[in-house]
């Protein structure tokens, strides 16, 4: 979550985070990340299978005991948390990709603008050179306009992705609060059961 917030604002930390993610994406980093993501996905699918087994038991027997209800809620929250974690990792990867692409396009656009200024402010060359330079300027200006429009599109995509990531963060925090509440409720039920057993 903090990475997504850092990506949103242009701060010195943003460059450090981008450099760090660039380094992680070199060498064996992508293999390690994919392995961890695959492991989390397999664990999440195992938890979903357990949820389905409890749910099937509930449907077949028609009744479910409180322990299974708590296990069902716990498994659902764990699966949701893992799913959101995987999704947020994917969002961070895409935001990093878009920000890198924006930086490259901005540099290209700045170079084209500088070249355009050099052509406009340059010394008066021979008329053939002027014609050649004017012919070169026309596609460069079109390229600048194209890059500016692409920059606006990418910026809009990045802001939409950031807004979506923040919404997911809030939803994830809600699930965590519900998980804590269910754990506390579970503990209270256990205490009550122990007091009844005595």
Angle at 88 (CA atoms; ends 80, 34), nearest 5 degrees: 95
Q: What is the mean pLDDT of residues 102-117?
A: 88
Residue 130 has a pLDDT of 79
d(CA 133, CA 135): 5
At 10, give phi and psi (nearest 5°). Answer: -80, 100
pLDDT-based confidence at residue 126 (cuts at 50, 70, 90): low
Return the percent helix, strand and coil in the chain, to nearest 5: 90, 0, 10
Q: What is the pLDDT of residues 32-73, one digit of tens each?
A: 888 999 999 999 999 999 999 888 888 888 777 888 889 889
When comparing pLDDT for 121 and 163, which is higher? 163
- pLDDT at position 77: 94
Q: Which residue has the higher pLDDT, 65 or 4?
A: 65
pLDDT grade for 123, boundaries at 50, 70 and 90: low
Domains of the chain in start order, with CATH, are 31-188 (1.10.287)
pLDDT, residue 122, reads 62
**Phi, psi (rounded to 5 degrees) for 26:** -100, 155
Confidence of residue 78 (pLDDT cuts 50, 70, 90): very high
Mean pLDDT, to the nearest integer, of 104-125? 80
Q: Which of 157, 149, 156 is nearest to 109 (CA)?
A: 149
Which pTM was predicted?
0.48
d(CA 56, CA 192): 28
**Which of 7-21, 53-67, 92-106 comes out lowest in average pLDDT?**
7-21
Cβ distance 194 to 32 under 8 Å?
A: no
Find the mean pLDDT for residues 124-145: 81
| Alpha-carbon span 94 to 194, nearest angstrom | 50
Which pair of structure tokens corresponds to residue 91? Answer: 């969002």
* pLDDT over threshold 80, residue 113: yes
């Amino acid at each position: 979550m903090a990475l997504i917030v850092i990506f949103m604002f242009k701060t010195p930390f943003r460059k450090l985070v981008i450099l760090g993610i660039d380094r992680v994406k070199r060498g064996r980093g992508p293999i390690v990340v994919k392995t961890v993501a695959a492991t989390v996905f397999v664990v999440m699918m195992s938890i979903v299978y357990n949820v389905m087994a409890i749910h099937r038991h509930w449907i077949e027997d028609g009744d479910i005991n409180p322990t299974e209800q708590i296990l069902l809620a716990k498994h659902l929250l764990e699966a949701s948390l893992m799913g959101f974690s995987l999704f947020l990792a994917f969002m961070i990867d895409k935001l990093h990709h878009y920000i890198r692409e924006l930086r490259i396009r901005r540099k290209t656009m700045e170079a084209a603008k500088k070249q355009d200024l050099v052509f406009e402010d340059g010394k008066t060359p021979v008329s053939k050179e002027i014609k050649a330079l004017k012919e070169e300027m026309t596609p460069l200006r079109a390229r600048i306009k194209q890059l500016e429009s692409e920059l606006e599109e990418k910026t809009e995509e990045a802001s939409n992705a950031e807004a979506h990531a923040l919404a997911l963060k809030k939803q994830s925090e809600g699930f965590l609060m519900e998980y804590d509440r269910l754990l506390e409720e579970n503990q209270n039920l256990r205490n009550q059961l122990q007091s009844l057993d005595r």
